[in-house]
Structure 1
């Protein structure tokens, strides 16, 4: 199946889009990828050694979940909505950083979905080896909740 570009599914703007490609989205799963390169979308976040610190794994997982949600929104003719990461459990990484030229495959598997709250079991692999994993809890606030959190003036700029 042919998917749209990542920015079609996320409400983010550059440089905060950290995923290059959508490989699969269905009712239970989203698989995306990004390559760590000096001139790629992750370049603003690389350390002095041109590596991506491992704490970015959580954001990559969250954006893969965002792609899942945005894909389903577009199928309903809705624009992608802002989601919130509530927290994570059992977040593990086996590397201190993701090295230059590594291709990160990010998978988010739906565990629970209840209206605006969801839980996903996520992992990141390099060369089919799991290098990061965790369970992320996410929430999609409605417009009144966003207004309460950010103020009604700010909503147009999100």
Structure 2
């Protein structure tokens, strides 16, 4: 049995936008999460008619795994509040088949390349069995609470 909490304990997401089912491992420089492409799993609302997950979801799967990495580390430092992070961009993001196959169990693995208090860069890979389905480098940003308040209150003046 895993000694990690479920993904929602590390992420600011609620179903159906929580795309991960399990946290497999987290280290200082990596994280590994898992989810199955099945009609009865967390990905069910996003599957196409063939039961496949469209390839554009690979970025969100990678980003949520980075979020798990960040959330786990925040908890290790005694910070219980879940923080909202942002994807700045992705480089060389490739999902060669264009979709993730029905019935596959996806292993999403991220490896830290660079990180400071606010910016991060991660190499990411999504595999099923022994095959690589998607790869990419994801760059992230951790806004301050003041920046988030300003961002979300921009259009709400009365």
Deviations 1:96-118 (A, max 9, x none): 21121101100010000021100
- Corresponding residue number in structure 1 for 2:31: 30
- Corresponding residue number in structure 1 for 2:105: 103
| 1:36-115 → structure 2 map (5 Å cutoff) | 36-78=37-79, 79-115=81-117
Instruction: Write the distance in 2 (CA, Å) between the matches of 1:30 and 1:153.
Output: 36
- Corresponding residue number in structure 1 for 2:4: 3
User: Deviation of residue 132 (structure 1)?
Assistant: 0.3
Structure 1 residue ranges (4+ consecutive) displaced by more than 4 angstroms after TM superposition:
none
SS in 2 for 1:145: helix
- Corresponding residue number in structure 1 for 2:131: 129
Instruction: Write the distance in 2 (CA, Å) between the matches of 1:54 and 1:32.
Output: 17
- Structural RMSD (CA): 1.5
Aligned residue pairs: how many? 154
TM-score, L = length of structure 1: 0.93
1:140 aligns to 2:139 (yes or no): no
Which sections of structure 2, spanning at least 5 residues, go unmatched?
none
User: Deviation of residue 59 (structure 1)?
Assistant: 0.3
Task: Please say if residues 21 and 33 of structure 1, whose CA atoms lie closer than 8 Å, have aligned partners that are also in contact.
Answer: yes
TM-score, L = length of structure 2: 0.93
